[in-house]
Amino acid sequence: MFGLLYEYFNPLSATHNSTTECFDCADSIHTGLSSVQSAQIDPMQWLQQNSHDKHAISSNILTQLQFGRPRAAMISLVRNSEVAGMVQSIEELEYRWNKKYQYPWIFFNDQPFSDEFKEATQNATSAKCYYAVVPEEHWSLPSWIDESRFMNGLEYLGTIGVGKGWLISYHHMCRWNSGFFYNHPILKEYDWYWRVEPDIHYFCDIDYDIFRFMQDNNLKYGFNMNILDDARSFPSLWSHTSSFLASNPTLLHPSANLSWLIDTNTSAYNNCQFFSNFEIGNLNFWRGEAHEKYFKYLDRKGGFYYERWGDAPVHTLSVAMFLERSEVWWFRDVGYRHDICSHCPSSPGLGIRIGDGTGNENKRERCECERTGLDENFYKLVPRESRQRKPDDTCIRLWLGGKWLEKREGWTAEGERAFGGDGYHGYKILGNE
């Protein structure tokens, strides 16, 4: 009897690990109950009440019924050749979190997935796996792009050393992640996503349902790192964004806060970004009028090809313009590494739950990493030696604001640099406590 109830109420009920490759199969793979918005408005209170895997699907019969379970999935844009790295990422996130929650995995590729890829990814998780191909029109040059200009741009970006700027596929990827992924038919019945890249690491056990946390607290976007990006990738992005806002002032959220992204000396974009290879968000935000109009406007300007506009700055600007601050969450308790950028939880003083609720507020046993300071990743992508103009404060501190920007009396950035420092060590709160 219990098995029948579980199959009926579980929004993921179907034969384990479907291998459907489709453009319009969401109805057949996800028929869950409608999302139920909780009355919770305090994320910290929610965490106190809903941690310790309260909503893990194996906890008790009530959670097995999955009433109010978010319609959510992990999503990955990945090649067949990246199967080993993808399996590593799946295994780590399953071990740290999803083995308890059984959210499905959805893989995207510009080519059909191989049987080897499907078998390997399905063997790495007990959750369901689905496979989809990116439509050709979303992975090719649009008709309005001057191909000769694009090819010249590739050569230039490669010459000056802009990361992956010389790769045609990378430009397609940035465009797809900026404005197409959330409308793919396979995601039609989903509201939430967690972006997972190949070859990444998760360092900490997570003992609460992250998607339910987002849903119940009316959060629309979650990030893990906030760092400086290479301005040579998108020299005209801010001017086009400014023009878009001037033409569409009613789309700007009444409580939008762009100040942390604007250089106080130049009034231009300071090149801070949410590091979007870790991204947890509401698909309906991206599908909304504001972001859709913004993306289509940018797309017609050609910067995804003539320059190397990335999804990270596009998403960052969109979130800052069209959401209020209370709808964005910093997942500081999630230990994560992507390439040279790595984050490991440190101080619980930021208002992020680090303790386990039993008096052990350090929670060190749940993380396997060397803790990183608040400003650790600020210029991992833009070295200190770079001549690029840098903000007066690190990106994460600009976003946090308030006490995190306060400096010690008598300290100056110029004075620190005169003695070989980088000018970012004068804060009253160091952020590595």
**Closest to 177 (Cα-Cα) out of 323, 277, 272:** 277
Which residues have a catalytic role annotated?
A: 279
Q: Which residue stretches of 341-424 are H helix?
A: 395-400, 413-418
CA distances from 187 to 26, 28, 184 (A): 6, 11, 6
Strands (E) across 224-327 are located at 226-228, 272-274, 279-282
- What is the distance between the alpha carbons of residues 187 and 193, in angstroms, rounded to a whole number? 9
Q: Which residues are CB-neighbours of 391 under 8 A, at least 6 positions away?
A: 228, 263, 270, 271, 272, 398
DSSP designation for 366 = G
* Residue 123: strand, helix, or coil: helix
Residue with tokens 């790495």: 124
Nearest CA-CA partner of 376 in 348, 342, 399 = 342
Closest CA to 228 of 393, 379, 398: 379
Contact yes or no for 178/342 (Cβ under 8 A): no
E strand map for 38-125:
72-77, 105-109
Residue type at position 110: D
φ and ψ at residue 73, rounded to 5 degrees: -155, 155
Contacts of 396 (CB under 8 A, 6+ apart): 225, 226, 227, 330, 374, 375, 378, 404
8 Å CB contact between 195 and 89: no
Contacts of 186 (CB under 8 A, 6+ apart): 22, 23, 24, 25, 26, 29, 106, 130, 132
Distance of CA 348 to the CA centre of its chain: 22
User: What SS3 class is residue 222?
Assistant: strand
State the Rg of the chain over Cα. 22
